[in-house]
Amino acid sequence: MRTCSLFLILCLGVSTLLAQDYQKTSSGVKTSQGGIDLELQFITPSVVRVVKAPQGHVYTKESVSVIAKPQKVNFQTTAKDYQIILSSGSIKVCVNTQTGAITYQTSKGEILLTEKETGPKFIDFNDAGVKTYTAYQPFLLDKEEGIYGLGQLQNGKMIQRNMTKNLIQGNVEDVSPFFQSTKGYGLFWDNYSPTLFTDNESETSFRSEVADCIDYYFMYGANADGVIAQMRYLTGEVPMFPLWTYGFWQSKERYKSQEETVGVVKKYRELGVPLDGIIQDWQYWGNNYLWNAMEFKNPSFSDPQRMINEVHNMNAHMVISIWSSFGPMTKPYKEMDKRGMLFNISTWPQSGLETWPPEMDYPSGVRVYDAYNPEARNIYWKYLNEGIFQKGMDGWWMDSTEPDHLDWKPEDMDTKTFLGSFRKVRNIYPLMTVGGVYTHQRAVSNDKRVFILTRSGFVGQQRYGANVWTGDVASTWESLRNQIPAGLNFSLCGMPHWNSDIGGFFAGHYNKSWNDGSGSKNPMFQELYVRWLQFGAFTPMMRSHGTDVPREIYNFGVKGEPVYDAIEKMIKLRYSLLPYIYSTSWDVTNNQSTFMRALVMDFVDDKKVWDINDQYMFGKSLLVAPIVHPQYTPEKAVKVSEEEGWNRDSAKKVGNNTLTNFAETKTTKIYLPAGAVWYDFWTNQKQVGGQEITKETSLDAIPLFVKAGSIIPMGPDVQYATEKSWDQLELRVYTGADGSFTLYEDEFDNYNYEKGAYIEIPMKWHDSGRKLTIGDTKGSYPGMLKNRTFKVVLQDGKQKIVHYNGKKVTVSF
């Protein structure tokens, strides 16, 4: 947390400021104009902080997102023609002293972004008895400029233009007041209250309900990766996740006994289908009055230590559901209640009885805890540690981290928190509660990397070992289509770990009656599930989850049947790609890269990709084009909200009484970005970029292409991520361009890599010489392989065996 104060700048007593009327500081300048105090601060040569407040207003601004310490930046300041110009060598910042508007330029003078001259505006506001302001700042964007970000929205849009959106955390939408542009810059509006984002023909603006000041960061990265690097410098770098988190995960709402939970893992092992994780959802604590007790009080979980041990003995990992609220009979509730650390907003579950709709004559008494309070976070961890972590739990499913806020009333926002009103800090609740668990676990253990699956996120959360999922989305094709741009825009905010419930959460409309299990045999759901699973295989976490319809592979049939085989094939492909995925994870941590890459990140010069919302790069080599429209069954439009989804008795039903032949071949249209040559992953057929092609499809294969110049390591056939060492990898080389790849390995689940315990094996393909060079191994770690064999395979079928002992070797074709 960083504190910065902006103090009164004396007015010079004239209506129009001359350019020389400013104060130079060690990091920028201060000036006043039109009743507004302004301070510019260079954080890095490419990042500028802008702080504005009503003239003479004295305040303290504490940032919880920004943790970077400003660098010592050499910059030049000149005053000319009613302008103050600051030049860092990377960017120029020009302040118009007649209007106060700021213009940002490249070092060559190309305009990147301009504030609109009519802004900013401060409106007096009484926030729960505290004098403050509502703050507004408009900007001017180019008409054809594409912008991305704002968090995870469900609007299906890739480019976030021509819209008005109230940014407030919710179940299926996670918001961050940040966007980046196709012009290579980003803007982070450092405010945590509900904020109205507007983009129309006249302006692009932020208007926050509560603001002691306007506080935003302009950053120039030249491209999307550069902007993300600047954003992570400001708000935190990404730690390495354990290798097992990138395997396949099975979950449902909910396994009702420890025998059922363990039984799922056993069944996967019996079937020979790879699995790395099982997730235990709610009610292992007992009833709603014991909500989130962080203890196993449900008689069906009478021996939790044995349950965890049995899962571990099958070489699987376990994650468990924890919430941001507590029932009145729990120990955390009682301790926090005495200390005034619980809110009085309505939250889930509202009734003490497990019925729908809630029976309000029997209120649950469940209350959200004040995660803004460091002492409350200490208490939260104390019970989590004693009740669950010490038993060997591997990770946390932090649900309702928005948190759930039901039956919203205006006065709810007046609720006092440790950091001010709930209104003032509403949007950073997930950052605070997730950060609390991460920080505390790291303080007590370096042997187990923190892994948190959570429903909400805010910029900065990437530093806390958190993978955000999209909440309780509906099991519909429209919802599947929305997930792709949601994940891409979330990633473009600098938060690389993201996933969604494979198959969608609410699926009751596919059942003939509630919970009879028939939905998994409904061809309409089967097709949707397979296509969602194929998409999920190319996200940072491949996790099957939902309610109403069972999701375990054995519910969809048996081996030899098309749906079962399609599911198994994609799970196994995921495991084959683990060396590629884990090396990409290191690229994310070490080089500020991104897993799910919007096409604009790598092909910004091809304007046709700017608004493509159903294709993306997974890592820097694989072009993924999920099938997002049904090809074998009809699409029935079903709208399901979170409230309607739980009302199983009145769920709209969709049936499919027609015969479905999943063996038929279909087709789909795919655009291959210009500037590259592409190979079909399945057939190795070569295609030139810059064109739309018609691709034959089948139920069991997602359209997948590899960029020429790629080197993709393929791993062994395994049942879990660490079953076999990577001593006999297949290196697939796709010719047609020069390329490189760095294979990364470490101990897979501790923090020793932070001390240098890891290796990198650099690989380079020289296309004209048709040579692959595997360089000297860099680094070491205990137990590392000293010798290994690579099978190098070109896409045309040519292959060679290479024996590698850590020393440079060149393979010629």
301/634 Cα distance (integer angstroms): 42
Is 266 in the same domain as 406?
yes
Residues 302 and 416 both lie in one domain: yes
CB-side neighbour CA atoms (13 Å) of 190: 27
Which residue pairs, CB below 8 angstroms and at least 24 apart, start in 560-568?
562/662, 562/663, 562/699, 562/700, 563/526, 563/530, 563/662, 563/699, 565/700, 566/530, 566/662, 566/699, 566/700, 567/529, 567/530, 567/533, 568/273
- Candidates 484, 534, 526, 554; CA nearest to 654 is 526
DSSP state at residue 635: P
Indicate if 197 and 334 belong to the same structural domain: no
Q: Could you give the CA distance from residue 460 to residue 591 in angstroms, rounded to a whole number? A: 17
Q: Which of 434, 450, 466 is the last residue of a domain?
A: 450
Q: Please name the residues in contact with 263: beta carbons below 8 A apart, sequence gap of 6 or more.
A: none
Average pLDDT over residues 369-381: 98
Summary mean pLDDT of the chain: 94
* Structural domain boundaries, residue 69: 2-145+185-220
> CA distances (Å), 642 to each of 5, 244, 255, 356, in order?
42, 31, 21, 12
Does any domain span residue 467? no
190 in a structural domain: yes
pLDDT, tens digit (0-9, with 9 covering 90-100), for 278-333: 999 999 999 999 999 999 999 999 999 999 999 999 999 999 999 999 999 999 99
Report pLDDT for 643: 64
Is the separation of the CB atoms in 550 and 523 below 8 Å? Answer: no
Give the domain CATH number at 315. 3.20.20.80
What distances in angstroms separate CA 155 from CA 9, 459, 490, 612, 647, one per listed residue? 44, 20, 13, 14, 24
Q: Is 135 among the domain residues?
A: yes
Interhelix angle for 374-387 vs 331-338, to 10°? 160
Q: What is the arithmetic mean of pLDDT over 533-554? A: 96
* 209/285 same-domain check: no
Decide: 115 and 136 in contact? Cβ < 8 Å. Answer: no
- Cβ–Cβ under 8 Å, residues 280 and 296: no
Q: Is residue 363 included in any domain, yes or no?
A: yes
Q: Is the pLDDT of residue 81 over 90?
A: no
Query: What is the rounded distance in angstroms from the CA atom of residue 131 to the CA atom of residue 210?
Result: 10
Whole-number Å distance between alpha carbons of 214 and 132: 12
pLDDT in tens, 599-623: 999 999 999 999 999 999 999 999 9
Query: Tokens in use for 482?
Result: 């929305």
* Tokens 């395979």, located at residue: 793
Tell whether 11 is covered by a domain.
yes
| 474 has a pLDDT exceeding 80 | yes
pLDDT in tens, 11-28: 333 333 444 589 999 999
Helix (H) or strand (E) run with residue 440 in it: helix 429-444
pLDDT score for 356: 83
- Catalytic option among 39, 174, 394, 402: 402
Taking the C-alpha atoms of residue 323 and residue 381, their distance in angstroms, rounded to an integer, is: 12
Contact by Cβ (8 Å): 107, 92: yes
User: What is the per-residue pLDDT for 119?
Assistant: 87
- Specify whether 268 is located in the same domain as 398: yes
- Residue with structure tokens 């030249």? 222
Per the listing, tokens 């020389």 go with 20
Burial readout 72-105 (b: 16 or more C-beta within 10 A, e: otherwise): ebebeeebeeeebbbbbebbbbbbbbbebbbbbb
- Whole-number Å distance between alpha carbons of 581 and 565: 23
Q: Are residues 212 and 345 in the same domain?
A: no
DSSP at 363: B
141 and 257 housed in the same domain: no
Share of the chain above pLDDT 90, in %: 90
Check whether 583 has a pLDDT greater than 70: yes
Helix (H, G, I), strand (E, B) or coil at 477: helix
Half-sphere exposure of 511 (CA within 13 A, CB side): 18
Query: Is the CB of residue 260 less than 8 Å from the CB of residue 299?
Result: no
* Total structural domains within the chain: 2
- Are 90 and 219 spatial neighbours (Cβ–Cβ below 8 Å)? no
Same-domain pairing of 281 and 359:
yes
Let me know if 399 is a catalytic residue. yes
Beta-bridged to residue 618, according to DSSP, are 596, 622
pTM for the predicted model, two decimal places = 0.96
* Rounded Cα–Cα distance for residues 587 and 681 (Å): 22
For residue 207, being part of any structural domain is answered with: yes
Note whether 9 and 129 are same-domain residues: yes
**Between these two residues, 6 and 498, which has the higher pLDDT value?**
498
Residue 514's pLDDT band (cuts 50, 70, 90)? very low
Confirm if 795 and 767 have CB atoms less than 8 A apart.
Answer: no
pLDDT digits (tens, 9 = 90+) for 351-363: 999 888 899 999 9
Judge whether 407 counts as a catalytic residue: no
Whether 254 is covered by a domain: the verdict is yes
Lowest mean pLDDT among 203-217, 448-462, 504-518, 733-747: 504-518
Distance CA 366, CA 329 (A): 9
Do 140 and 287 share a domain, yes or no?
no
| Between 11 and 383, residue with greater pLDDT | 383
| Contact between residue 706 and residue 681 where contact means Cβ atoms under 8 Å apart | yes
Helices assigned H by DSSP within 577-614: 578-591, 599-602
Annotated catalytic residue, options 127, 173, 399, 746 = 399
**Is 33 a member of any domain?**
yes
> Is residue 327 domain-shared with residue 273, that is, in the same domain?
yes
CATH for 103: 2.60.40.1760
Nearest alpha carbon to residue 63 among 176, 174, 191: 191
User: What is the phi-psi region of residue 184: left when phi exceeds 0, alpha when psi lies from -120 to 50, beta otherwise?
Assistant: left
Same domain for 199 and 276, yes or no, is no
Average pLDDT over residues 671-682: 98
Closest among 509, 494, 500 to 594, alpha carbons compared: 494
Q: Which of 401, 429, 450 is the last residue of a domain?
A: 450
Taking alpha carbons only, the member of 744, 754, 686 closest to residue 715 is 744
Determine the pLDDT at residue 637. 72
Task: Encode 288-352 in three state secondary structure.
Answer: HHHCCCCCCCCHHHCCHHHHHHHHHHCCCEEEEEECCEECCCCHHHHHHHHCCCECCCECCCCEC
- Tell me which residue of 154, 227, 224 sits closest to 610, measured CA to CA: 224
Which of 399, 420, 450 is at the close of a domain? 450
How does residue 659 score in pLDDT terms, banded at 50, 70 and 90? confident
Q: Each residue of 759-776: pLDDT tens digit? A: 999 999 999 999 999 999
> 402 catalytic, yes or no?
yes
Kindly name the residue from 199, 472, 587, 749 that is annotated as catalytic.
472
Q: Is the pLDDT of residue 162 over 90?
A: yes
How far is it between the farthest Cα atoms of the chain? 85
All residues at 6 or more sequence positions from 759 whose CB lies less than 8 Å from its CB, including other chains:
744, 745, 746, 777, 778, 779, 780, 781, 784
Nearby residues of 640 by Cβ (< 8 Å), 6 or more positions away = 474, 475, 476, 506, 509, 651, 652
